[in-house]
């Protein structure tokens, strides 16, 4: 009888833990859907060397007087505003790009800075 009660308690405990795990997964997904973060609206845009050179040439010709990040923001906002609205709405809200951040292939620099930090830390 004692063995049966022990097995019953273990089964109930296992089911309770499984239930709580499933509920936590569901609540996390619900929170993720209802919470907007910058990562939800982040895009990657690769710019080739030739595109950058064309921009520099255009700067020399006087076509652009703004930094590259502002030119990209203006272009993106203009192109997105021309798209059909996803939501049926009588009022179209203009889309604004918050920022453009440039990333470079700098893995070697990061590794070197880590080594430097380790050497400084070790005295």
Tell me the pLDDT tens digit for each residue of 72-120.
899 888 888 777 765 666 666 777 888 888 877 777 888 888 888 888 8
Helix (H, G, I), strand (E, B) or coil at 65: coil
Q: Alpha carbon 120 to chain centroid distance? A: 33
**CB contact at 8 A, 69 and 102:** yes
CB-based contact 69:100 (threshold 8 Å) = yes
Q: Is the dihedral of CA 27, 30, 35, 41 positive or negative?
A: positive
- What pLDDT is stored for residue 87 in this prediction? 60
Which two three-digit tokens encode residue 95?
């889309």
Phi, psi for residue 93 in degrees, rounded to 5: -85, 125
Tell me the per-residue pLDDT of 3-24, one tens digit each, with 9 for 90 and over: 889 999 999 999 999 999 999 9
């Amino acid at each position: 009888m004692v063995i049966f009660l022990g097995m019953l308690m273990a089964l109930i405990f296992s089911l309770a833990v499984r239930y709580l795990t499933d509920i936590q997964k569901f609540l996390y997904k619900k929170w993720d859907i209802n919470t907007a973060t910058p990562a939800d609206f982040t895009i990657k845009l690769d710019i080739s060397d030739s595109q950058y050179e064309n921009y520099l040439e255009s700067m020399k010709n006087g076509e652009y007087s703004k930094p590259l990040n502002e030119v990209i923001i203006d272009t993106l906002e203009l192109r997105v505003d021309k798209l059909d609205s996803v939501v049926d709405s009588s009022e179209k809200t203009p889309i604004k790009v918050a920022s453009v951040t440039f990333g470079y292939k700098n893995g070697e620099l990061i590794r070197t800075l880590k080594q430097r930090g380790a050497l400084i830390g070790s005295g």
